[in-house]
Structure formats: structure tokens, C-alpha cells
Amino acid sequence: MMFEKLVFAVALILIISCGSVPSDDATTKTHSSDTSDLEFVGTGTDITNSFNCTGEPLIIGFSHTGQGNFIVHLLNSSTGEIADYLVNEIGPWTGTIPLTPPEGEYFFEVTSDGDWEIIITTNHN
């Protein structure tokens, strides 16, 4: 019985410390509702507003100024399942990723200890 209580306590601590619950100081701003010019800006761990994808190629730009982990997942809004693992870096980082998600509604789950920005543009190539 004591072992079961210990396992439960450890599991609860892991969920609290590693979960995707937004921090109190996290903010997200959406500047557009279509994927031709969509920007999310935040501080700390957060979940962005949802956005629609039409199935066309996208370029997703990322910027992170924190010192710790910067992890970004793309999640399907309908199922809540991870559609793609986009970024897993440590420290300040800037980069772009080409992506062609199937048509649907998505959101980003961001793990960060600093300021971050995500910009989605349509790949017109």
C-alpha cells in the first residue's frame, strides 16, 4: 500500500511539472486568422489559439530567447493528438521548417522558459 501511494505521488508530481498547462505569465496573440500571415507570440509554456490549414505547403518560422528547452508540437484541434513534432532545442534558437499538414484545424503546444514567436506563411514556391 505504501509503494502504491509513493508511485501515485511521483506520477502526480511529474504531471504537474511536465504537463502542458499554460503558465500564469504566458500570453498568446494572433494577428491574423488565415495561414498566409499568422503570428503567435508568447512567454513561457502555452497553447496557442487554433488555426485552419488548407492542405497547402507552409513555412513555419520559430524564435526562442529562453535558456532552457524549447519544444513545439503541432496538435490536431479535433482529436487533440500530436500531428507533428516540430522543434526540440535548448537555449536561444531561430529556425524555419517547411510543413504540409492535411486540411484541418490545428494549434501549437509550446514548452519554453522564455519569449517565443511562431510565424506561419504560405509557401508560394
Tens-place pLDDT, residues 30-71: 444 444 589 999 999 999 999 999 999 999 999 999 999 999
Domain ranges of the chain: 23-122
Tens-place pLDDT, residues 4-36: 443 343 333 323 333 344 444 444 454 444 445
Pick one of 2.40.420.20, 2.60.120.380, 3.30.300.130, 2.40.50.140 as the CATH number of 23-122.
Answer: 2.60.120.380
Say whether pLDDT at 3 is over 80: no
pTM of the model: 0.73
Cα–Cα distance measured from residue 28 to residue 93, given in angstroms and rounded to the nearest whole number = 19
CB 89 within 8 A of CB 64: yes
Please state, in angstroms and as integers, the Cα–Cα distance from residue 39 to each residue in 50, 63, 92, following that order. Answer: 12, 11, 19
Cell 489559439 sits at which residue? 49
Cell numbers representing residue 10 in the block = 511521483
Helix/strand/coil for 75:
strand
